[in-house]
Chain A
Amino acid sequence: MADLYSTLRQPLIAGNKSLGEVTNDVSGVLERKTSPLWWRAFMASLLFLLIGAAAITYQVATGIGTWGLNRTVGWAFDITNFVFWIGIGHAGTLISAVLFLFRQRWRTSVNRAAEAMTIIAVMCAGLFPLIHMGRPWLAFWMFPYPNMRGSLWVNFRSPLVWDFFAISTYFTISLVFWYVGLLPDLATIRDRAKAGIRKKIFGLLSLGWNGSLRTWNRYEVLYLLLAGLATPLVVSVHTIVSWDFATAVIPGWHSTILPPYFVAGAIFSGMAMVLTLMIIARKVMGLEDYITLRHLDVMSKLIIVTGSIVGLAYATEFFIAMYSENPYETFLFKNRALGPFAWAYWTMVLCNVISPQLLWFKRIRRNVAWVFVLTILINVGMWFERFVIVVTSLHRDYLPSSWTYYTPTLIEVLTLLGSFGLFFTGFLLFCRFLPVIAMAEVKGVLSHGHRSVRSGSR
């Protein structure tokens, strides 16, 4: 079968698939009976989700006091989780929009899942600003709507308001982009479905897709435009999230480096999370031919790049703090490395700066187990990065009299677990009911039409 491969360029999809095989591989999962493995994973995720929901219910009913926050550390797990999930949500847009514009065709195997992951992650992220409020039932006050309170508006100077706009925009664009991308595949599933409820639902969802050239043409134009629209968001969302910190006066927060550092960190963590999910998905759903070692390799390279930016940012922060001779800033960074939260800082450095260096080796990049472990470490490290930024900056700020420590409570830990429950529940539902791989796009990168491809039946 060696003659089937181009000598110049490895095919993006392995297994010498025909168009029909692609359709069967991807859609078949949705049409078969639900596997016990899926059920087990789903029930576990749902359990976590329910635990989290219970924790949140208890917290909303009783008070934020059920978290470990105090008068000095007013944000900890809540905003850490928020920034973490927003970061995770970054890879989707990057892969689907930026890489699309850059004509990185390998993205086709992973973009659907990455986008779905984005949407679910942004939902997880959006949960935290909501529940971190003392009075979450008044969350709509963050929204600038015309009102009868003497026309009382929001504070347009507050980064939290900017956050609200940035995230809602990002979520909307991501959702639309994802949905538009889904249309041809939804139509495929509709066409394969036997008459019944399934056909009706997918018929509705596919918006009357008829596969005509005109439809395809409009689709391609829309997709390109949306990609163009989504691209600035890759930079803007996390930049604005970083302003929550950068515009504050607290040493460790008040820093101009935060926007680029946050964007790089977000892509870094997003890529890691996509890899984690893809490694599981290709194994469980038998998609090894679509998500190949080459994908791991390419994404690992992106991880090295962004990871290095993040590492450089850590070093720059330190350098600037020392160079500035600002005693508060100097102290803060020394305190991060040597103070009571040094364990968190060094966990972060170990996971985010040191461990990704292994990916310089091709053998490791192409080793599924190694990449899997490293991506998990990076996810842990990136969570700690946000924890370090949020908590270590707050816990020892200007007046030593107010210095404290922070310890999470059970409710906070359960809420974090619950957000993972929500994430995996959402992702598993996506895997079960929607095509995980963008069939229409993958078909475009098949060696179809080349000399040695077998003709398949459509």
Chain B
Amino acid sequence: MPKSTRKQDKLYIGGDQTADAIGAAVPRSVEAHRPPSPPVDQTPRQNRDEVSGVSRRSFLETLGFVFAGTMVAGCERGPVERAIPYLNQPPELTPGKPLWYASTCGACPSACGLLIKCRDGRPIKLEGNSEHPIFRGGLCAIGQASILELYDSQRLMEPFANGRKKAWPEVDAQIIARLGEIGRKGGKIRLLSETVNSPTLHRCIKGFLQKFPRAKHISYDAISVSAVLDAHERSHGVRVLPHYDFEKAEVIASFDADFLGSWISPVEFAKSYTAGRCLDSKQTSFSYHVQFEARMSLTGSKADRRHSVLPSDLAGLLRELGKLLSSQVSAGPPLPEKLDEEKKTPDHGAVDRRVLIDLAERLAGTQGRSLVISGSQDIEVQMLCNSINDLLGNYGATLDIERPSQQRAGDDAELDLLVRELEAGEVDAFLVLDANPVYDLPNGEKVAAALKATPLVVSMTTHNNETSAAAHFLLPIPHYLESWGDAEPVAGIPAVMQPALHPLGNSRSMSESLAIWSGAGKPVRELVELTWREIHFSSKTVGGRFQDFWDRTVRRGFAGLQPHPSAIVSPRQVSAAWDEEPLSHGEPGKGRSKDLLTLLLYPKVAIQDGRHAVNPWLQELPDPITKVVWDNYASLSSALAEQLGVKDGDIVRLNVGEVRHTLELPVLIQPGQHPKVVAVALGYGRMGTERFFAVGPDWFQKQLTVEKGQTLGGSAAPFVGMTSAGRRLHVQGVKIEKTHRQRMLARTQDYHSLELPKNVDPGAPPRPIVQETTLSAFLKDPTAGSQARHGPEANLWPRDHEYVKEHWAMVVDLTACTGCSACVISCQAENNIPVVGKDEVLRKREMHWLRIDRYYAGAGPDVAVTHQPMMCHHCDNAPCETVCPVLATVHTSDGLNAQIYNRCVGTRYCANNCPFKTRRFNWFKYSFENERENLVLNPDVTVRSRGVMEKCSFCVQRIAEARIEAKVEGRPMEDGAIVTACQQSCPASAIVFGDVNDPESQVSKNLKSPRKYTLLKDLNLEPSVAYLRVVRNRESSKVTGESHG
């Protein structure tokens, strides 16, 4: 038996050897949940087949039968009225100890690897799987928050047929009959899904298509990147999405690709992007990142240089860049004089030509080590990117199309065809596999109308949505945490999803349903196993027996394989033709006046396409750039706002000529935005957000987060440009009308600039809160950019606290931090932080213990943006501790500033005296609007009552857990044994936590970094949180104004 239960809990970590050696790991399944499963591998190996004549197989069969029997017996699901202790406690369950299971995130098709933390049989926290080769332990805000949806009581719980609750067999019989009838008549059957990255679902769809030969499967993505795939089909002969590697790219030129915020796979990209920007003293390799974009994206906020350009100018820019590059790459550097002569070049928009020359020179110098990408849905732009990458030899280096990404595979052309078929009434059966075309598509209303006339509409979904409203059969699918499944985000790295609790509803996975309808019905677990046996195991590289491979994979959550041979393609040489006329599917508004405003639709970091719009954590997550919560808005540049005579919060009416849709949104003035662009986020106005009228405290002056019966924000999806070449997220010719009404935007930050208000203190230097330097200055002097005012050198007073054993500290690398806010949600989930609603945020009472301060410095398109995570600094000389009259906040012997909730009487003196304003007060009794969501609460963390102060605890419950474990095992605590929730989820690995008293700990090393600084040094607070200075790869710093050549 393993030495400690903890080891057992952590079996996933050990990898193959440990797991095999310990041998107690049984892939966890719902069926095996109770009664306890005897560890299969415990039987000595030689005994299995020979002794007692029972073969391993028949033993397992018997065991399976017994399991199935007990499962059936245990399936009765009456309400639990009494809590009864286990008579025979399952060996893996120790009350109070968490169990961890490796799985895969199903919140979006990026399919990040994750670990599920379960307490007493219920998942309470998701964390990134640090062993996963591509996501490396990061998990985004949406992934973190998706656990809350598991406990959403408004999930679809029962199958419905024509509005009536039905049992599954009945539903199946009806659907099979209808499908068979349609199949016999030769009717058209259409399956619509988003990108399917699950090999099992793929297989089941294939099986279904075999059964119904006239059926067709169409996949699309709500936020489409189909142009990238289409361009590769043209340029490389295969419709794939390359797997981008930002780590190897020394120069990154992004043309409107928000790869750190919302484009394809932000967690993976943030990991590799940060890895490519390493300022280690031993090895400094720092990529140069230039961003061309129209709005201020999260990626733009991290860029070394940022240029604001119209989406329609991207093609011109890229063509110009390609021209410059082709001359450089083939014939050496161009003569500057010659370039200066041809100043007048068409189409490269507002960007100075020198910018392009500089970029071309840098790219030419880093051939095979650079990356040119674009988030544009313009196939011409994507073709140009491909040509440039090809010219630079980046294919095979920073772009992998041999082991491509399968995170997005939607095909807009096929979708367009499908919509036309639907509208023509040609489709006889329409099966929607967890997709929501009525909401996502610009012509959703027409689709909805067409669905009404379609003879058979089946919607498989977790929630009632816009599309399912028209469905004849409404079939609940399980949350990804309660079902078996799999995913293969990148070819060759398939991953398993395993259930962490019994499904809360009477749901069934899509794979299982499709298999049943195509006559090969099996439980989903068997389907998944079968897929792996057939597809992944057959790879020659995997040796041994399937069961071992399967057990190992379930334990680890993923498998690293050679990609399936069929996935490998031979790229076709692309010929660069820079002077070619724009492709026929180019910018439709090409001929239009440049004076027209462009409407840019974009996915927000936390909201994306709106599929998680019912998640209150995500709605209350401040947008990393605008810091707005609970609302949608129209971002304008200050110049445009001035021209229109509108200010923040004024409601404007947007409409686009040919689209019969208007949208009224409050204005938000956004620094860095192109003056000819109005940016509106997608994903609002979702059905289901009506529930939020009940969010927040109930008192007589409350304002509702949404009016009763209204949805949150307005949907901008009808403005998406639908062409046969793809859905386009920018439309020219948007008209803005003032309405003379106002709606306050709830923002968690009111003052945005590092510069002090000019009307109060003109000419005052910015406060040394954000310290920044340039790469060249840093390389010359690693302490460059230090703005340390002289702090106290000697202390008159004896030190208040002695730290005999540990002294916890945290270092946040501001160069790495992308502001993605995954940590904010991770902290919220870990520490039971309540949701307060829009009105409370308007009143500046958000409860997040960890916030990310975002500051602007400078003006114009190149405005510098800094993200600064801000949590309790656990000061050694803490101002909060001295002022509390009842000793509710005290210092611990290991350097924590502890808040004792049950002693707090709520004078708020501590919060007033906190220079960082990181303390949060329970102004009301905040609770989930949805009572079942209480199941997500972490039992290790007190739920705070009304009237008490709370704040970041450095995840003290995790410290305690690690300490107890070390004590039980009689060893000292190791560095890295404690990972705070924020640190764990950080896709940029920007946060390091540990013991300062251990000179070898990572945090001690980081504290010795020349980039280290602490905030408000003059106050002699001795905070336990330090920051590492921002380094940007540019010539001058906007923050400090320092300039280095």
Which residues of A are in contact with B by a Cβ distance under 8 Å?
Answer: 58, 62-66, 68-72, 74-75, 129, 132-136, 138-139, 141-142, 152-155, 157-161, 164, 244, 247-250, 326-328, 330-331, 334-335, 338-339, 394, 396-405, 409-411
Known: A63-B699, A249-B879. A339 touches B760 (CB 8 A): yes
- Assess whether B1016 is interfacial by the CB under 8 Å rule: yes
Can you give 23 contacting A-B residue pairs, CB < 8 Å? A63-B922, A63-B923, A65-B840, A66-B701, A71-B919, A75-B912, A135-B906, A141-B886, A142-B905, A155-B885, A160-B885, A248-B879, A249-B915, A330-B761, A331-B761, A335-B757, A338-B760, A399-B769, A399-B915, A400-B855, A401-B855, A403-B751, A404-B750
Closest to A157 in B: B882
Q: For residue A247, which residues in chain B have a CB less than 8 angstroms away from its CB?
A: 882-883
State the CA gap A164–B885 with chains docked (Å): 10
State the CA gap A152–B769 with chains docked (Å): 38
Which residues of B are in contact with A by a Cβ distance under 8 Å?
Answer: 697, 699-701, 749-751, 753-754, 756-757, 759-761, 764-765, 767, 769, 840, 843-846, 851, 853-855, 868, 870, 879, 882-887, 903-909, 911-913, 915-917, 919-925, 945-949, 1015-1016, 1018-1019
> Is there contact, CB below 8 Å, between A65 and B883?
no
> Is there contact, CB below 8 Å, between A398 and B947?
no
> Is there contact, CB below 8 Å, between A154 and B701?
no
Q: For residue B906, which residues in chain A have a CB less than 8 angstroms away from its CB?
A: 64, 133-135
Closest to B922 in A: A134
Closest to B842 in A: A70
> Is there contact, CB below 8 Å, between A135 and B1019?
no
State the CA gap A80–B923 with chains docked (Å): 19
Q: For residue B845, which residues in chain A have a CB less than 8 angstroms away from its CB?
A: 65, 70-71
Q: For residue A334, which residues in chain B have a CB less than 8 angstroms away from its CB?
A: 760-761
> Is there contact, CB below 8 Å, between A135 and B904?
yes
Q: For residue B912, which residues in chain A have a CB less than 8 angstroms away from its CB?
A: 74-75, 248, 250, 394
State the CA gap A138–B904 with chains docked (Å): 9
Known: A69-B908, A331-B764. A399 touches B883 (CB 8 A): no
> Is there contact, CB below 8 Å, between B765 and A327?
yes
Q: Which of B884, B885, B947, B1018 contacts A134 (CB 8 A)?
A: B947
> Is there contact, CB below 8 Å, between B769 and A71?
no
Q: For residue A409, which residues in chain B have a CB less than 8 angstroms away from its CB?
A: 701
Distance to closest chain B CB from A126 (angstroms): 14
Known: A72-B844, A134-B922. A152 touches B887 (CB 8 A): yes
State the CA gap A409–B840 with chains docked (Å): 13
Q: Which of A75, A138, A328 contacts B905 (CB 8 A)?
A: A138
Q: For residue B917, which residues in chain A have a CB less than 8 angstroms away from its CB?
A: 71-72, 397-399, 402
State the CA gap A95–B81 with chains docked (Å): 70
Q: For residue A159, which residues in chain B have a CB less than 8 angstroms away from its CB?
A: 883
Q: Which of B905, B922, B1015 contacts A133 (CB 8 A)?
A: B905
> Is there contact, CB below 8 Å, between B701 and A134?
no
> Is there contact, CB below 8 Å, between B749 and A401?
yes
> Is there contact, CB below 8 Å, between B883 and A62?
no
State the CA gap A71–B924 with chains docked (Å): 13
State the CA gap A181–B338 with chains docked (Å): 102
> Is there contact, CB below 8 Å, between B909 and A158?
yes
State the CA gap A335–B886 with chains docked (Å): 33
State the CA gap A331–B769 with chains docked (Å): 15
Distance to closest chain B CB from A68 (angstroms): 7
> Is there contact, CB below 8 Å, between A154 and B697?
no
Distance to closest chain B CB from A40 (angstroms): 30
State the CA gap A64–B845 with chains docked (Å): 12
State the CA gap A74–B883 with chains docked (Å): 14
**Seed contacts A63-B924, A64-B947, A401-B853; 9 additional CB < 8 Å A-B pairs:** A62-B924, A63-B925, A65-B697, A135-B904, A141-B905, A247-B883, A250-B912, A250-B915, A404-B844
Q: For residue B948, which residues in chain A have a CB less than 8 angstroms away from its CB?
A: 134-135
> Is there contact, CB below 8 Å, between B753 and A400?
yes
Closest to B749 in A: A401
Q: For residue B923, which residues in chain A have a CB less than 8 angstroms away from its CB?
A: 63-65, 69
Q: For residue B855, which residues in chain A have a CB less than 8 angstroms away from its CB?
A: 400-401
> Is there contact, CB below 8 Å, between B921 and A134?
yes
Q: For residue B699, which residues in chain A have a CB less than 8 angstroms away from its CB?
A: 62-63, 65-66
Q: For residue A394, which residues in chain B have a CB less than 8 angstroms away from its CB?
A: 912
State the CA gap A397–B1019 with chains docked (Å): 13
State the CA gap A398–B301 with chains docked (Å): 24
Q: Which of A74, A139, A338, A404 contacts B908 (CB 8 A)?
A: A74
State the CA gap A66–B839 with chains docked (Å): 12
Q: Which of A68, A72, A158, A326 contacts B883 (CB 8 A)?
A: A158
> Is there contact, CB below 8 Å, between A158 and B884?
yes
Closest to A326 in B: B1018
Q: For residue B907, which residues in chain A have a CB less than 8 angstroms away from its CB?
A: 129, 132-134, 160
> Is there contact, CB below 8 Å, between B843 and A154?
no
Closest to B887 in A: A155
State the CA gap A68–B751 with chains docked (Å): 19
Known: A64-B947, A249-B1019. A141 touches B903 (CB 8 A): yes
> Is there contact, CB below 8 Å, between B853 and A399?
yes
> Is there contact, CB below 8 Å, between A142 and B885?
yes
> Is there contact, CB below 8 Å, between A63 and B883?
no
State the CA gap A71–B925 with chains docked (Å): 16
Q: For residue A403, which residues in chain B have a CB less than 8 angstroms away from its CB?
A: 750-751
Q: For residue B844, which residues in chain A have a CB less than 8 angstroms away from its CB?
A: 70-72, 404
> Is there contact, CB below 8 Å, between A400 and B756?
yes
Q: Which of A58, A63, A152, A398 contacts B697 (CB 8 A)?
A: A63
State the CA gap A216–B887 with chains docked (Å): 49
Distance to closest chain A CB from B874 (angstroms): 16
Distance to closest chain B CB from A382 (angstroms): 21
State the CA gap A153–B882 with chains docked (Å): 14
Across the A-B interface, give the 7 residue pairs with the lowest CB-CB distance, nearest first: A134-B906, A134-B947, A65-B923, A74-B908, A70-B844, A401-B853, A402-B917
State the CA gap A153–B750 with chains docked (Å): 40
Distance to closest chain A CB from B349 (angstroms): 34
Q: Which of B868, B885, B1015 contacts A154 (CB 8 A)?
A: B885
Q: For residue A398, which residues in chain B have a CB less than 8 angstroms away from its CB?
A: 767, 915-917, 1016
Q: For residue A161, which residues in chain B have a CB less than 8 angstroms away from its CB?
A: 885
Q: Which of B870, B908, B1018 contacts A401 (CB 8 A)?
A: B870
State the CA gap A29–B797 with chains docked (Å): 62
State the CA gap A330–B756 with chains docked (Å): 12
> Is there contact, CB below 8 Å, between B887 and A71?
no
State the CA gap A65–B840 with chains docked (Å): 9
Distance to closest chain A CB from B792 (angstroms): 13
State the CA gap A138–B886 with chains docked (Å): 10
Q: For residue B919, which residues in chain A have a CB less than 8 angstroms away from its CB?
A: 71
> Is there contact, CB below 8 Å, between B764 and A134?
no
State the CA gap A154–B903 with chains docked (Å): 11
Distance to closest chain A CB from B51 (angstroms): 61
Closest to B844 in A: A70
> Is there contact, CB below 8 Å, between A142 and B756?
no
> Is there contact, CB below 8 Å, between A335 and B761?
yes
Closest to B846 in A: A71
Q: For residue B765, which residues in chain A have a CB less than 8 angstroms away from its CB?
A: 327
> Is there contact, CB below 8 Å, between B904 and A134?
yes
Interface centre among A72, A129, A135, A335 (most CB of B within 10 A): A135
Distance to closest chain A CB from B709 (angstroms): 26
Distance to closest chain B CB from A274 (angstroms): 31
Distance to closest chain A CB from B425 (angstroms): 55
Q: For residue B916, which residues in chain A have a CB less than 8 angstroms away from its CB?
A: 398-399, 402
Distance to closest chain A CB from B12 (angstroms): 38
Distance to closest chain B CB from A401 (angstroms): 4
State the CA gap A58–B701 with chains docked (Å): 12
State the CA gap A141–B851 with chains docked (Å): 32
State the CA gap A328–B915 with chains docked (Å): 11
State the CA gap A398–B759 with chains docked (Å): 18
Q: For residue A396, which residues in chain B have a CB less than 8 angstroms away from its CB?
A: 751
Q: For residue B924, which residues in chain A have a CB less than 8 angstroms away from its CB?
A: 62-63, 65
Q: For residue A330, which residues in chain B have a CB less than 8 angstroms away from its CB?
A: 761, 764
> Is there contact, CB below 8 Å, between A135 and B885?
no
State the CA gap A354–B663 with chains docked (Å): 53
State the CA gap A129–B909 with chains docked (Å): 11
